Amino acid sequence: MKPLEPVPRRSLFLPLGLLTVALIATSASAGPPERDFEDVTARAGVAARHHNRAFKNPYAAIMAGYTALGAAAAVADYDGDGFEDLFVTDSGETGKNHLYHNNGDLTFTDVAGKAGVADGNDASNATADALWLDYDNDGRPDLFVVRFGHNQLFHNEGNGTFKDVTRQAGLDRYANAITAIAFDYDRDGYVDLFVGSYFQPIDIFRPQTPRFFPESFETANNGGGLTVWRNQGNGTFKDVTREVGVNLSGWTLDLGHADADNDGDDDLYVACDFGTDRFLLNNGDGTFKDVTKETIGIDTKKGMNADWGDYDNDGWLDVFVTNITDDYMREGNFLWRNNGLDDKGKLSFTDVARETGTYDTGWGWGGKFFDYDDDGWLDLYVVNGWVSAGPESYVPDVFQMITRPNVDFADARNWPPMGNKSLSGYEKKRLFHNEAGTFREVAARHGLDSTRDGRGIAVADFDNDGRLDLFVANANAEPYLYHNVRPAGPHWATFLLEGRKSNRDAVGAQLRATAGGRTQLRFVDGGNGFASQSSRRIHFGLGGAPVIDRLEVRWPSGLRQTFTNLPAGRFYRLVEGEPDPKPFEPRKK
Amino acid sequence: MKRLRTLLLLAVCAAPALHAAAFDDAMKAVSAHNDAAALPLFESALTADPDNLQYSNEYRKAVIRTKEYDRAIDFYGKLTAAHPQAAFAWLNYGYTYVDKIPDAGSITQVILANNALTNFTKSIDLKKSWIALYTRGNSYLYWPKIFGRAPLGVADLEAAVAMARAEAKKKKVYVRSWIALGDGYWKTEQPEKAKATWREGLQLFPGDPQLQARLARDGEELEKYIYDQLDPNKRVDTNLAPLWEE
């Protein structure tokens, strides 16, 4: 701090006019910087608290420290009224899941009970995540509820209700599933299901063995891995995991798909706790190849999120992965910059988290790319914090176990109970503003630096005002709905895609918009990012450009279409194969 | 009997020559960029002279280049079992764990660091040397505050600084103990003592860039700088050559 300097005598004799100007200038610059987000959670009626599952078995006290999960949110306009709705999970044994119907005025009504999707929790099932997907291409989003136990598939009946079709779809199998995404890996026009599981498929509610914890902190391969369910196009799914070349048994926490090598099919990033993340390249023939070693290397970190976005606007999709960064464990996140293909056609990534300032987000969970200020650069919001409880730290307990010779980590009985201790708790969330490829942290300025234990982030324009809002699911706590209130100014345009030959939701479609001399790449994602699913609408921030000069759409089917001179400030509906964009006018109330 | 005595005498006289020859051959292999061939030769030399700091130093450098950390850990385990009184063998046993840390995952880093401390303690119990006290004291500073090890580090580093002060000739390498002691004071929330220690260090070792860098910073900038220095993902300089190169 600089010492106070005496006021020069002559300043006391400033002319009055000049003094007035000076005062105005001072008050303008001294005021608090404007916030771009407003917390509207309570007002919007979405404040129902999440409850962690309390297990009732001999290992319950130990498990409590490792299962503070299940707070998730998924966005879709399930009733087609033009407003994005929200499915929000609970995990407590008697906790109900919520289907928040968007009333169109930034308030919501929980209709889960009436719709038939509230009952996601009981003594043998705990909800962990949720995913909207139109598996039968009828134009109505169906709902997949991811659970420790048996997953649920609900068919959207189109009348505000859902029908449980899990068994008839062939998906009724026990798994300790924690994440799911849907994309059309074989490009047959139907989205397939990729389900990641944390624990191996033992009955976690009544374990028959104590040896179900991770065998290692860095190379564990005794987790639940990944199951690939192929959509057979007739309302059923088939487990094709081995057939498609997937053989993973890590502690999966998140999945993220994207066409990393721009070859027309979607590749897959698998974020794993207690060990190595995996990157699987789509061979284009309905199979995948594990290219982890060649592309990202073998890591030993605690991968928890996989969100793809072209943060540097170079036309190649990059991926953001959270890990643990704290005083006692300095792993650092990954921001895998996509280097594109070399002259031999080989894809590679470089971790630029340190260089871009996105390395440290504490004990990170969900992280989402989105352009909150419509400047044409993808910003990044990251939530964090494991367990925020009492003032005592759990760290020494864990390290005492770790440093014990020959300890069998797989045996849950060797892990110390957490009790009311905290571990990487009360961490502040981070909003990274993208400044042409590097980031500046601005969460506090915008009121987004809460300290609840964040898990999932769903991005959507809930009030159709052309600005992206945020819904944050917190573990064992109330969520947040942050309304984007940034003053109008920068231009934007939003696109809703409808596949014909491609899957109906056009998941996997790439859009390249050129405006104001810059080209941006966005794609329709099928649920990327930890414990959350954002809107499938494509939103372009255009900065000062009032028109998109050229929009190139590459549909999952391979069809390419180009549109020109699209005025900003509008919602467009693009139908595969149709030459002109259709107006898409979400109702305003 | 007389012949046997002569043979034994010859053997005793030849032993140093043998391990020196093994070390020389190892260094030749290193010069020829053949670390793989050098490793067993270094091990031969050390088996005959376990407390030789120079042998250990060159051996560990080759181990770092080849990333044969587990081999070295195994080797020193056997060496110290065979020579439990060899204080510098224990010290280097500790360094092999430290050398592996940047190439390990975050949890393994903790286990390695803990093992290193155990071996540094054994070395100090056998012989209170400046290098061992400095090394253990500095190692404590890498631990998160919650473990409360920084005060133990300060105690070691105060002893190391006292030993260095007592030396008539201040080797340049001793500056490290002033740097680390200041860091220890800073980590135990004694910023004034930290600055005073760094200032004293700078008087004794004028122009030292690390001391200057610390003294030029304050507050958050200093905190960031020190945490950056104590990042376990960065390789700690365990090269002992400055001890005898001056």
Angstroms from A113 CA to nearest CA on chain B:
45
Q: Which residues contact B243 (CB under 8 A, 6 or more apart)?
A: B53, B131, B171, B173
Measured from the Cβ of residue A331, the count of other Cβ atoms closer than 10 Å reads 23
Partners of A326 on chain B (C-beta within 8 Å) are 144
- Region B179-206 average pLDDT: 97
Would the pLDDT of A157 be above 80? yes
Please give the single-letter amino acid code of residue A279: F
Identify whether residues B100 and B200 lie together within a single domain. no
Residue A83 pLDDT > 80, yes or no? yes
| pLDDT tens for each residue of B39-86 | 999 999 999 999 999 999 999 999 999 999 999 999 999 999 999 999
Over 80: is that where the pLDDT of A38 sits? yes
C-alpha distances in Å from residue A542, one per residue of A70, A467, A546, A547, B40: 36, 12, 7, 8, 64
pLDDT at A33: 65
Q: How confident is the model at residue A585 (pLDDT cuts 50, 70, 90)?
A: confident
Residue B204 clears pLDDT 90, i.e. is over it = yes
* C-alpha span between A561 and A165 (Å, rounded): 36
- Rounded CA-CA distance B137/B163 in Å is 14
Cβ of residue B145 closer than 8 Å to a chain A Cβ: yes
| Chain A positions in Cβ-Cβ contact with residue B147 (cut-off 8 Å) | 395-396, 399
Q: What is the least distance, in Å, from the CA of B201 to any CA of chain A?
A: 27
Q: What is the pLDDT of residue B144?
A: 85
Q: What is the pLDDT of residue B33?
A: 96
Q: Tell me, yes or no, whether B139 and B102 share the same domain.
A: no
DSSP string, B14-52: HHHHHHHHHHHHHHHHHHTT-HHHHHHHHHHHHHH-TT-
Instruction: Check if the beta carbon of residue A44 is closer than 8 Å to that of residue A489.
Output: no
Q: Angle formed by the axes of helices B219-229 and B175-187, to 10°?
A: 120
Tokens representing A54 are 């309390």
B100 and B162 in a single domain? The answer is no
What's the total number of domains in chain B?
2
Assess if residue B152 is contained within a domain. yes
CATH number at residue B16: 1.25.40.10
- Res A11 pLDDT > 70: no
pLDDT band at A547 (very low <50, low <70, confident <90, very high): very high
- Counting one residue from chain A and one from chain B, the pairs whose CB atoms sit within 8 A come to 46
Residue B224 has pLDDT above 80, yes or no: yes
Q: Nearest Cβ partner of B111 from A393, A395, A402? A: A402
Domain boundary among B77, B92, B115: B115
User: Which tens digit of pLDDT belongs to each residue from B169-189?
Assistant: 889 999 999 999 999 999 999
Reported as a pLDDT band with limits 50, 70 and 90, residue A583 is: confident
Integer CA distances (angstroms), A474 to A60, B93, B152, in order: 21, 46, 39
In a domain, B244, yes or no: no
Among B63, B92, B115, residue at a domain's last position: B115
**Interatomic CA distance for residues B86 and B79, integer angstroms:** 9
User: Chain A within 8 Å of B147 (Cβ-Cβ)?
Assistant: yes
A259 touches chain B (CB under 8 A): no
> Region A259-272: what's the mean pLDDT?
98
Residue B102 lies in a domain: yes
Chain B hits for A402, CB-CB cut-off 8 Å, are 107, 110-111
Give the range among A317-331, A423-437, B12-26 with minimum mean pLDDT: B12-26
Q: What pLDDT digit, counting tens, does each position of A287-344 carry? A: 999 999 999 999 999 999 999 999 999 999 999 999 999 988 889 999 999 999 999 9
For residue B242, being part of any structural domain is answered with: no
Cα distance from A187 to chain B (closest Cα, Å)? 38
- Binary contact (A395, B232; C-beta < 8 A): no
The whole-angstrom separation of Cα A14 and Cα A23 is: 12
Contact criterion met (CB below 8 Å) for B110 and A399: yes
In a domain, B174, yes or no: yes
| Residues in chain A, total | 589
Together in a domain, B110 and B150: no
For the cut 60, the answer to whether the pLDDT of residue A27 exceeds it is no
Residue A28 has pLDDT above 80, yes or no: no
Alpha-carbon gap: A299 to the closest alpha carbon of chain B (Å): 8
Q: Which of B107, B146, B233 sits opposite A217 (nearest CB)?
A: B107
CA angle B34, B35, B38 (to 5 degrees): 95
Distance from CA of B95 to the nearest CA of A (A): 18
Does one domain contain both B154 and B71?
no
My answer on whether B25 and B61 are in the same domain is yes
Are B110 and B162 within one domain? no
* Residue pLDDT, tens place only, A171-190: 999 999 999 999 999 999 99
pLDDT of residue A1: 34
Average per-residue pLDDT for chain A: 93
Q: Are B8 and B111 part of one and the same domain?
A: yes
Q: Both B133 and B107 in a single domain?
A: no
Considering only alpha carbons, which residue of chain B is nearest residue A324?
Answer: B106
Angle at B213 between CA B61 and CA B240, to 5 degrees: 20
In Å, how far is B35's CA from the nearest CA of chain A? 25
Q: Compute the residue count for chain B.
A: 246
What pLDDT is stored for residue A34 in this prediction? Answer: 86
Q: Which of B114, B144, B231 sits opposite A328 (nearest CB)?
A: B144
Pair (B162, B192) in one structural domain: yes
Q: What is the mean pLDDT of residues B202-212?
A: 97
**pLDDT at res. B122:** 98
B241 falls within a domain: no
Instruction: Report yes or no on B121 lying in a domain.
Output: no
pLDDT of amino acid A30: 47
- H helix intervals, A253-303: 292-295
Q: Among A60, A70, A132, A139, which Cα is nearest to A99's? A: A132
Contact B107 A396 (CB under 8 A): no
Name the token pair of A98.
């919520």
Average pLDDT over residues A40-61: 96
pLDDT classification of A464: cutoffs 50, 70, 90: very high
Identify all chain B residues contacting A218, using CB atoms and an 8 Å cutoff: 105-108
Range of B200's domain?
128-236
Position A251 scores a pLDDT of 98
The yes-or-no verdict on residue A9 having pLDDT over 70 is no
Nearest CB neighbour to B146, from listed A219, A324, A328: A328
* A96/A119 Cα distance (integer angstroms): 6
Same domain as B224, residue B170: yes
The predicted model scores a pTM of: 0.87
pLDDT in tens, A367-426: 999 999 999 999 999 999 999 999 999 999 998 898 888 899 999 999 999 999 999 999
Could you tell me where the beta strands, DSSP code E, fall in A259-355? 267-273, 278-282, 288-290, 307-309, 318-321, 325-326, 329-330, 334-341, 347-351
- Greatest mean pLDDT among A201-210, B137-146, B222-231: A201-210
Tokens of A83: 């407003």
In this prediction, residue A65 carries a pLDDT of: 82
The answer to whether residue A546 scores a pLDDT higher than 90 is yes
With a pLDDT cut of 90, the percent of chain A lying above it is 90
Per-residue pLDDT tens over the stretch A465-476:
999 999 999 999
How high is the pLDDT of residue A25?
A: 37
For residue A48, pLDDT over 90 is answered with: yes
Query: Which of A217, A393, A396 is closest, CB to CB, to B105?
Result: A217
Domain finish residue from B75, B92, B115:
B115
Name the residue type at position B74: D
A357 touches chain B (CB under 8 A): no
Strand partners, A320: A307, A335
**Residue B2 pLDDT:** 52
Of A300, A326, A402, the CB nearest to B110: A402
Residue B59 located in a structural domain: yes
The number of CA neighbours under 13 Å toward the Cβ of A351 is 15
First to last CA, chain B: 47
pLDDT at B15: 57
Is B147 or A158 the better-scoring residue by pLDDT? A158
If asked whether residues B168 and B86 sit together in one domain, one would say no
Helix B150-166 vs helix B130-141: crossing angle, to nearest 10:
150
